[in-house]
Amino acid sequence: MDDSEPEGKPAVRPYLTYLRLALGPYAVHFANTEHFANTGTSYILPHTLRNLQDVCVKTLEDTRRNIELRQELGLAYEFWDDLAAVVKASIPSLERRSFAAPDPATPEYEGLSGPLIASHNIELLKDLERLNQLVAIARNVLTVGEKVQNLAADRLFDKDIFTLINVCVRVTARGYDGEAGTLDEDKWQAVINAYKKLLITCLQFLNNLTARNEQRKLMLWIELFDSHLENELPNFADMKYKMDMYSRDDRNPRANVSESTPPVPKPSYGPDAFKIPQQPASSPFLLYIGETGNDVKKSLAQQGEKAGANEIAAECKRRWQTMGEEEKNKWNMLYADVVARYRDELTQSSTYKKVVDQHAKNEESVQALAESINQLQVEVDRMRTAISSPDANASAQPPATATEEKRPPKPAMDESMIHSDLRRSSPAGEIDFRVTYPPSFGVEILQSGKEDLLKRLEPDPDRPPALTSELASPSSPPLEDDDNDDDLDDIPGDEGRGLLTDVPLILGPTEIEVLPMIIMGGIVEPAEGQPGYHSDPTIFSSIRSMHNVRCHLLLAQDNGRNLLRELLIFVAAWDLREEELYFKFMVKIMEAILTNQLLPFAYHAFRESDRSKDIISPAQAVIMKLLTNIFRARQARAAPRSSLKAATPQIDQGDAHMVNFLLTEFRRHIIPQTCALIFLQGQIRAGHAQPEDFPLNLWDMERMYEGVYQYLEFFAILTEHEVWKNMLSNWEISTELVTLLKELDVAIPKGQLAVPPLAASSRGSGPPPLDSDIPQPVAVERPYDTTNGGSAPEGYMPSPRPYIDEAQEEPSEFEWRNLKKLAVLVLSSLVWKNRQVQDQIRPLGGIEAILNCCNYDEHNPYIREHAIMCLRFLMEGNKENQDRIRALDRYSQEGEASSSSNSGIPSNTPKVRVPNEVLDQQGYETYMDNKGQVMLRKREVKLPVSAVPGKGKAKLETRDPKDLEQLVQQVMRELPARVQGVRHDAEKAAALAKLDKGFDGKG
């Protein structure tokens, strides 16, 4: 009732009355679509439906610009009730026309939904457009604010939207199952596009329902991400270094149990924590398969037919469908006996009481969490009301009621009220950067893996063929059979995966942006100047804690983790770049997870349990890519501030734990398993193993390569920060990088360099006249230089041919393109002005490994320039490294007999050619030509204008090389687009100039 109207007189609401004239007939229309399909006649005439649609279209347009209309509709419960009635009536109507009834004649016992949709395409297109207009009106009305949002939720209209979203996902997530290339497929596609449009509008409704409403966000989170089966929130604070305690067996899919059976929580520390009776099959048919499956398999094998899992299931289904009623009743009775026996064993076991008690404790913990969250919300509302009232003060507050006087006084809101897990961590101390696993740990894992692999490759007539396929890596569990992968797939739109989990499989980058916006609004706290931010630190602390709670809830349940996994994989599937809006949204989401110190848990949770062969899953690779973007942006923002003050920048404790976790993962899993596969590639190349012994396919190799590449790119960014660079140095991460270079150099061929012969005209004519006083440049990026008479000059480096993604026949021939180059780049930045790393690399044989990178490699173009740069940084201010490189140079030139006794180099050391540019014996310098290519040339030497006073002869001046900053930027541009350069400042350029001037090879 409007307060301005006389008492007893109803308020005038013309907009609401106008729209309700259409909502009532719409509900009748959807409720009787089956009558129309059977008889061809409808209760509502077509021209009446067109008039009603005009009403909805006009109302939709008015809601975009008329705030009074939005308020009138949104604050009327009749609007939400009538709208809910239309949606409730439409859902069965849509399902009847979009999902075919089961057909026993089909192999999968499913009807063809594609042709059914095509046969109803005209009516479906019209009805979907009507629904889309109504949901759009509701979406616009929600912009009024909290009163309308709460009223819509109170009338349970959001539940109807959830059901509508579920229908849209189930329809659009499935492909066309009719005859391809027909007119029906085009009709089906038009309906699918209409469903997608309605799905997007529903997602926009959910976003507006929760915008700037903390209570509605929390309720949405509970609705979407609470599976109601796993209510125990894990203690994330204790998971920083305990990720490996959780066995992969702990993540078994939840078995279906009857409703009367109490839910059994997953064991916390292994499958033997609670020993319960084995659960029976979930239906008589599955019991039938379990009992007769072996006999069916033998029967198929005797008939010479394929006896895989799919064939056995199809044969069992055929026998079940043709089975007589009497025999089928016997199986039903047997199943009932099995279930009853299982229940008796379960209730009589001593474990039953433990399970029930644990479930009660879980319920209590969730209730306590909900009460604390509700208390935080009450505090936020109270403080917001107090601040919004300008005259509110202590004397003006109304007296407390009797019930309020009985309550204990509420403590003041401060950081101490917030759970310790939800507070921002303190600055990292020395213990947070400790090395948890020494370099020898990873070396031992790799060595044991190689030895085990060599034993398996030894010829043994009793061993079955292709036994090495069990080894993806020395520390991986046995691989699962790929033939069963299809059986593990979930049905698209299955509610067990979560309401929104399959949305990333349906929409494109420009259509799906509202979904990450919903997640952002729930877990990313507003920055200053953004909606939802409050200047009062006490109130904002409460708002921040609400965001932290939702971040924990998102990762605490399977539904939330499933959705986040699909959102991450979406980045890789569409190859999204940093400038795209979806990518920026995902960066914000990942930064919120990082801020809440949940990233190690999220990384561990996204390990693919059903694909144990994955060294790093696609979702984990995208996490590394997002982390690289986050740290690059942070360091770019911190650069101006660091120039003002020379103090060591503070590092958050959570960030330190996260980097520590990733370094541990890199040392224990990534490098040992990757190098083991590279080693196996080398064994296959040498003829000690067969290509069919390789355990992965090309798709698996691409996934693994992407993950390793993202790790190296992340380390490249870390080396630009003083604290992280020191941490990498203390961890001796150079051990893994040198190991990777060595394995790639031995196992992966570099390719052949073919220099075409000179043309006849070129052979007949001599080189053009040159000025002998001016040193001529040596084109190191060209196949040959005609100015040198057709001979390859010293320091010659040909231009690599463009990379052609040729179809490879064998995954064992995977070339790991650009990986060596990026590893050398990380080493270059790591050894710069770092005596600790310079001395670490020498005993590892890293100098020889980097010298090997100075050779031509078609899979790593321009790696020569990277390697020379790294070697110069290794030699600067380090006499031991300089002597080592000189000794290697003499060893390669003079031979073993004359140099091994004097240089200290073992006689079995392979000869490694040292480029002249490294020792600068010929006065080489690097420069860029007018095409931007990196070139080498002899340094220009010229006499000064005037002689130095007091000297008997003029002093020669040597021109410095060009700024190293330009050189590094150029060579980094040759890397793939996702790699960004490592900063090399003017100090590095000056150091290289010093080397060019003073280090002439004589000491």
What average pLDDT does range 203-212 have in this prediction? Answer: 96
The answer on pLDDT for 492 being more than 60 is: no
358-364: average pLDDT? 52
Given this model, what pLDDT does residue 1 score?
Answer: 44
**What is the model's pLDDT at position 349?**
55
User: How far is 312 from 287, CA to CA, in rounded Å?
Assistant: 14
* 935 phi and psi angles, rounded to 5 deg: -130, 160
pLDDT at 726: 95
Mean of pLDDT values over 926-945: 52
Q: Looking at 22-31, 351-360, 867-876, which range is the least confident one? A: 351-360
Residue 811 has pLDDT above 70, yes or no: yes
pLDDT for the residue 313: 77
CATH 1.25.10 placement within the chain: 651-750+812-897+911-918
Mean pLDDT computed over every residue of the chain: 74
Inter-residue contact 619 to 606 (CB < 8 Å)? yes
Pairing state of beta strands 941-942 and 777-778?
A: unpaired
Residue 19, pLDDT > 70, answer yes
pLDDT of residue 804: 40
pLDDT at residue 290 greater than cutoff 50:
yes
- Residue 399 predicted with pLDDT over 60: no
Checking if the pLDDT of 774 tops 80, the result is no
How far lies 348's CA from each of 255, 276, 342, 343, in Å?
20, 11, 10, 8
Between 533 and 438, whose confidence is greater? 438
Residue pLDDT, tens place only, 160-201 = 999 999 999 999 998 898 888 899 999 999 999 999 999 999
pLDDT of 650 reads 80
CATH T-level fold of 651-750+812-897+911-918: Leucine-rich Repeat Variant (1.25.10)
- pLDDT band of residue 242 (cuts 50, 70, 90) is very low
The mean pLDDT of 99-125, rounded to a whole number, is 83
Which strands form 924-928's sheet, in the order they lie side by side? 777-778, 934-938, 924-928
Q: Is the pLDDT of residue 720 over 50?
A: yes
Q: How many C-beta atoms lie closer than 10 Å to residue 881's C-beta?
A: 22
Least confident of 117-126, 532-541, 750-759, 872-881: 750-759
The one-letter amino acid code at 198 reads L
| pLDDT tops 50 at residue 435 | yes
Predicted confidence (pLDDT) per residue in 479-491, tens digit:
444 444 443 345 5
Render pLDDT for 600-624 as a digit per residue (tens, 0 to 9): 999 999 987 555 567 899 999 999 9
Phi and psi at residue 817, in whole multiples of 5°? Answer: -60, 135
Q: How buried is 854 (Cβ within 10 angstroms: 0-12 exposed, 13-18 middle, 19+ buried)?
A: buried
Percent with pLDDT over 70 in the chain: 62
Three-class HEC string of 404-469: HHHCCCCCCCCHHHCCHHHCCCCECCHHHHCCCCCHHHHHHHHHHHHHHHHHHHCCCCCCCCCHHH
Q: 18 pLDDT band (50/70/90 cuts)? A: very high
pLDDT at position 899 is 44
What pLDDT was estimated at residue 5? 46
> What is the model's pLDDT at position 807?
47
Going from the C-alpha of 169 to that of each of 195, 502, 505, 985, the distances in angstroms are 8, 7, 9, 52
Contact 255, 263 (CB under 8 A): no
> Are 128 and 195 a contacting pair, CB within 8 Å?
yes
CB-CB contact of 649 with 727 (8 Å): no
End-to-end alpha carbon distance in the chain: 96
The whole-angstrom separation of Cα 160 and Cα 156 is 7
Average pLDDT of the residues in 68-75: 95
**With 90 as the cut, is the pLDDT of residue 828 above it?**
yes
| % of the chain with per-residue pLDDT over 90 | 40
Most confident of 2-16, 299-313, 378-392, 719-733: 719-733
Instruction: Place 906 in a pLDDT band, splitting at 50, 70 and 90.
Output: low
> Residue 660 pLDDT > 60, yes or no?
yes
Q: Is 304 helix (H, G, I), strand (E, B) or coil?
A: coil
Residue 227 has pLDDT above 60, yes or no: no
* Encoded tokens for 373: 């969250």
405: pLDDT strictly greater than 80: no
- Pairwise pLDDT comparison (76 vs 475), residue with the higher score: 76
Give the whole-angstrom CA distance, residue 121 versus residue 114: 10
Determine the Cα–Cα distance for residues 106 and 314; give it in Å rounded to an integer.
Answer: 11
Of the two residues 362 and 400, the one the predictor is more confident about is 362
Among 63-67, 218-222, 265-269, where is mean pLDDT lowest? 265-269
User: What pLDDT score does 715 carry?
Assistant: 97
How far is it, in rounded angstroms, from Cα 766 to Cα 789?
Answer: 7
Given a contact cutoff of 8 angstroms between Cβ atoms, the answer to whether 861 and 800 are in contact is yes
What is the per-residue pLDDT for 273? 35
Q: What is the sign, positive or negative, of the torsion defined by CA atoms of 982, 983, 988, 989?
A: positive
What per-residue confidence (pLDDT) applies to 36? 65
Collapsing DSSP to helix, strand or coil, 942 comes out as strand
How high is the pLDDT of residue 562?
93
**What tens digit of pLDDT does each residue of 128-139 get?**
999 999 999 999
Parallel, antiparallel, or unpaired for β 941-942 and 924-928?
Answer: unpaired
Identify the band that residue 429 occupies on the pLDDT scale cut at 50, 70 and 90: confident
Residue 896 has pLDDT above 50, yes or no: no
More confident residue, 398 or 100: 100
The pLDDT value given to residue 333: 79
Q: What is the pLDDT, as a whole number, of residue 920?
A: 62
What pLDDT shows up at residue 106?
Answer: 65
Residue 344 has pLDDT above 70, yes or no: no
- Could you write out the DSSP letters of every residue in 752-804? ----PPPPHHHHHSPPPP--TTSPPEE-TTSS--GGGTTSPPTT--PPPPPP-
Measured from the Cβ of residue 743, the count of other Cβ atoms closer than 10 Å reads: 23
pLDDT of residue 661: 95
